[in-house]
Structure 1
Amino acid sequence: MSETAFVGIDVSSQTLEVAVSTLAANWQASSDAPGIEQLVQRLLQLGPTLIVLEATGGYEFEAAYTLQAAGLTVAVVNARMARDFARSMGALAKTDALDARMLAAFARVLDQHPQRERFIKPLADAQLQRLQALVLRRRQLVQMITSERQRLRPAHAAARPSIKRVVDFLQRELTDSDAEVAAHVQQHHAELAQALRTVPGIGAASVAVLLAELPELGKLDRRRIAALVGVAPLNRDSGLMRGQRTIWGGRADVRSTLYMATLTAVRHNPVLREYYQRLILAGKRKKVALVAAMRKLLTIINAIAKHGVNWNPCFHIA
């Protein structure tokens, strides 16, 4: 019986460094279309059980999507997770060749993980990629406007007209960006977007982020969706010590959006307001109560996405 093959691919802007667990030597492929096609043909011959790539700012997507489309099993993992695994294996140095070897070893471990499906999921299709790009660009514009406004007050009088012109330009770009996002959502997600907008505290910008960055919405149970976003409390226990529960990891952009929506919801959403106030009266710190409200809000919108219904406060009182 031939040995099971696992593949690690270290991605850069120009090359793909490929390591296979059953082969002694790595090889390189170019990250353009012809190079990726040659890589696919070679890996199809090897028939690996799992291929792991590290998320590298989008450079990994074309290779991962093409490999997956060819019927190969692909996981794109968080860079921090891959680096932590390498350190745990004693690999403190960092080179493309070594990183590819570590990713191949990581693939073997992930294949035995009890929640293997968390790491191996279909990549975004062209429509979702477009929405993600539009949402990302909107976020960048908001950040640039904030940065320019922060420069305005301490700036010399001679520089202020320039800063104001840049802010005005960026505001116009943001308006155009909002229109593009809204048009895309209306064309591809109108029914779900309308249902989510019925929840007090959830606005158009929040809906766009949820649709773009959390496509699993409505497809997972409440515990798994909370863990995915990073609002599930994590134990910190050892022996007789019981540490404080904390949240960590998850999808930062979704969590930030959920946080801002919750700040509004605990004031204007009757269910979330009552829930938040009840926790405060029970002696919970405001930050703890707010995180709990975030988790409840996520549970509500996950249920709405799952069942395709509009907001009804009677369904969510608990």
Structure 2
Amino acid sequence: MILATTVICIDVSRDWLDGFCASNGQRLRLPNTAAGHAQLLAQIQDLPQPVRVGFEATGGQEWLLWSTLVAAGVEAVQLPPAQIKAFALSRGTRAKTDRIDAELIAGFMLFRPEAGRKLPGENLRILRTLTTRRGQVVEMRKRLSAQIAARRKQHIPADLEAMDANLLAMLDAQIADLERRIKSIIEQEETSAAKARLLLSIPGIGPVSTAMLIAEMPELGRMTSGEAAAMTGLAPIPHDSGAMRGKRAIAGGRRALRHVLFQAALAAACHNPVLKPVAQALKRRGKPHKLVIVAIARRLVTIANAILKTGVPWQPQLER
């Protein structure tokens, strides 16, 4: 097979870059450092152009390399690990090493050339970092609160109670500071600020869910309602075979965003004048609470997609 584009796939770890070139089968191993990135760029420049580089999302290990490649004019995309894992299972690949992973990513890119996320702008990268950190601190506070509630039944000393209170206050202060910084970053860029104003017009979507939608779903407003629901993992997936009709379930998507939308759906089910009757109707039909919240969250994200697409703030008559 002759490839019009030279495809290079890299398995990124903390210390190393393990690469595989799909065009000629060559492998490389370079340190995940500034010097290693410079070596990689030099090798890319010697290859037939254009070049497309892909790597899995690895929790941030790939961001510096990603920025370096894009700054040098190289097309580079971040690929979804869940889809690559499913691709590996479809091929019967069970062994796992960094070298095998690099070749596997190359196979996935050839199979799905349209897959991958492009590097977001600097403001969006900062916003995504801040929203991720806020989620981590909120989770820490939640766990600490549960531990404090459990310890209160054990009659712990007063000085330990004071320590717990200080820890909670510190986490509260960090959350408040992160939320101020998130608000400031959104307001710095007119595109993000305009999106925020439109999203905040929807009853049920507050500052936290607005920030997450802007940071984690920049494509919102440029897709169909079905694509928006699928990207958040809120689209029901059929499990049918022949005459059997299996139970629909949600799966996949961007997990952190889906969790925030669940919280927004809880508020919308109580306060959104359009979605509240929908939630009540589902409850009267005997639908489980979780199914009701999923349905409201799915409607919320499709409404948000439509509003960003039209640029018109939310109005009750828009949703029937």
| TM > 0.5 fold call | yes
Contact kept? 2:9, 2:21, Cα under 8 Å: yes
CA drift at 1:248:
0.3
Match of 1:26 in 2: 27
Counterpart for residue 273 of structure 2: 270
2:76 is the alignment partner of 1:41: no
Helix, strand or coil at the partner of 1:201: coil
Match of 1:95 in 2: 97
The aligned counterpart of 2:64 is 62
- The answer for the alignment partner of 1:244 in structure 2 is 247
- State how far apart, in whole Å, the 2-side matches of 1:67 and 1:171 are: 38
Q: What secondary structure is seen at the aligned counterpart in 1 of 2:9?
A: strand
Q: Does 1:16 align with 2:17?
A: yes
Aligned partner of 2:232 among 229, 232, 235:
229
Match of 1:131 in 2: 127
The aligned length equals 311
1:312 matched residue in structure 2: 315
Instruction: Report the alpha carbon displacement of residue 135 of structure 1 after superposing the two structures with TM.
Output: 1.0
In structure 1, C-alpha distance between the alignment counterparts of 2:222 and 2:80, rounded to whole Å: 21
Deviations 1:70-89 (A, max 9, x none): 44443322223223322332
1:138-188 Cα offsets, whole Å, 9 max, x none, are 112211111221221333325322221111111112221221112222222
Alignment RMSD (CA, Å): 2.1
Q: Which secondary structure does the structure 1 equivalent of 2:19 belong to?
A: strand
Deviation at 1:284, TM superposition (A): 3.6
Q: Secondary structure at the match of 2:118?
A: coil
AA aligned opposite 2:122: A
Tell me the secondary structure at the aligned position of residue 313 of structure 2. Answer: coil
Partner SS state of residue 245, structure 1: coil
State how far apart, in whole Å, the 1-side matches of 2:138 and 2:287 are.
33
Q: Which moved more, 1:70-79 or 1:222-231?
A: 70-79
Amino acid at match of 1:315: L
Displacement, 1:2? Answer: 5.5
Q: Does 1:260 align with 2:263?
A: yes
Show the counterpart of 2:150. 154
Q: Which runs of 5+ in 2 are unaligned?
A: none
CA distance, structure 1, for counterparts of residue 281 and residue 51 of structure 2:
50
- The AA in structure 1 aligned to 2:118 is P
1:187-202 alignment to 2 at 5 Å? 187-188=188-189, 189-202=192-205
The CA deviation at 1:283 is 4.7
Superposition pairs for residues 170-181 of structure 1, below 5 Å?
170-181=171-182
| Most deviating of 47-56 and 265-274 | 47-56
Equivalent residues of 2:78, 2:118 under 8 A apart: no
CA contact (8 A) 1:6 1:105 kept: no
**Letter matched to residue 203 of structure 1:** G
Question: Residues 251-270 of structure 1, C-alpha deviation per residue, up to 9 Å, x if partnerless?
Answer: 11111111111111111111
The 3 A distance-change label for structure 1 pair 24 and 215 is: closer
- Offset from partner CA, 1:207-254 (integer Å, 9 cap, x none): 111111111111111111111111111111122211111110001111
Alignment of 1:144 onto 2:127: no
In structure 2, C-alpha distance between the alignment counterparts of 1:195 and 1:266, rounded to whole Å: 20
In 1: Cα distance, 2:239 partner to 2:75 partner = 34
SS of 2:238's equivalent?
A: coil
